[in-house]
Amino acid sequence: MLWLYDPFTMIALMLAYAVGFVVMMSMAALIAPRVARGFSNRFALKSSMIIVGLLAAASSIAGICLVAYLLTSYFGAALTLDFVAAIAVFVLLANLFTYLISPFMINLFYGAKHSEDLQRIVNEVAAKLGVNRPPKAMLVNSPPNAFAYGNILSGRYIAVSRELAGMLSEEELKAVIGHELGHHIHRDNTIMLFMGILPSIIYYLGVFLIRAGLVSSSVSRLTSRRRDNASGGFILVIAGIAAVALSFIVQVLVLAFSRLREYYADTSGARASSPLNMQRALAKLHLYYEGSSYAREAVSASKLKTLFIYAFTETVASPFYHYKTPPRIAWERVDIDEVIEELKRREVNSVQEFFSTHPPTPKRLRFLDTLTMDATAPR
């Protein structure tokens, strides 16, 4: 529809997308392989999260300040401040509304039911990790996965799919629950909510710059104003394209931050049971999705992929996904420890990882190898 009433903005946005895509692919090909190293200890993991988080925040603030400076030159400080504040409030309220309503929607669409047996395990894991008020344990209808969700209105939940509960031993299930409880302990849902706001603000400001620049240039030509006014509009368009491209780069940093939070949650899963049981659970999930084309193809559009314990390469569980026949794996015949060793030897696709919310399974397995039982969960 944008083509019909605003074709020039659409063309500018396509150019911005192209610039952003080229920059991101260059980063993925040249930078990601050099910085995507394993973590040797807990300090390195925490330091990496701080650095990436600060870099995303600093890039966002710099981008917003640059846009505000350009707008001030054309519309004045008062109007610019009002507009930037309006964009920020709009994005914040939209994300906050989604955050508040999502637990109720998840419970509805996933057919979430409280499970006393699962609650017992959640309570045991919570006690081991020092959590005084355990989240409510829910069984959901979906391909094998688990996730943590909730807020101050709904309370906190940990959901495990019935398929996953049937795949794992109790110790492996404790590791998975520990991972999800780690997300609650680290307040990952809230942190990622606000991290996701940053690129959105830059994006919408960039779109406004593009439109403001196009309107300014058109008015200048129609009213025969000075040429420098028209060139000023062109500068706004270029700045808007740069801002949209920057929003993509910030989003890449947010994705990197999300992957680090998954490693962080894995430390809690390892402490809840053991690093080996955390590895076994991840390996079983990987084996399931690797053997199910239905699961990989039909669930890629889920809006909740950042919540899941296994979501690499868009392989996530969706409440709208009714898969045909899931792969039936005779787990008693599978040497899962041998599978773990084979997965750890696999090379990972750095470009694919670059655009994912979750680290690839081989890297998570290798990371868990570095943990010791006295340092598996940051306190």
Catalytic residue numbers, as ranges: 180
Distances in whole angstroms, Cα of residue 361 to Cα of each of 140, 168, 310:
23, 17, 8
Q: Are 202 and 243 in contact (CB under 8 A)?
A: yes
Sign of CA dihedral 286, 290, 296, 300: positive
Contact 147, 303 (CB under 8 A): no
Residue 317 corresponds to which tokens in the numbers above? 């569980």
Residue 355, judged by CB atoms within 10 A of its CB (0-12, 13-18, 19+), counts as middle
Is residue 114 part of an annotated ligand binding site? no
Dig out the tokens for 357 from the structure. 């919310």
Distance CA 156, CA 107 (A): 12
d(CA 111, CA 108): 5
**Residues constituting the chain:** 379
Q: Do 301 and 319 touch, CB atoms closer than 8 A?
A: no
User: Could you tell me whether strands 155-161 and 136-140 are parallel, antiparallel, or unpaired per DSSP bridges?
Assistant: parallel
Joined tokens for residue 37? 């190293």
Asked if residue 179 belongs to a known ligand binding site, the reply is yes
3-state SS, residue 35: helix
Let me know: does 295 contact 326? Beta carbons within 8 Å: yes
> 116: annotated binding-site residue?
no
Annotated binding site for Zn(2+): 179, 183, 262
Annotated binding site: 179, 183, 262
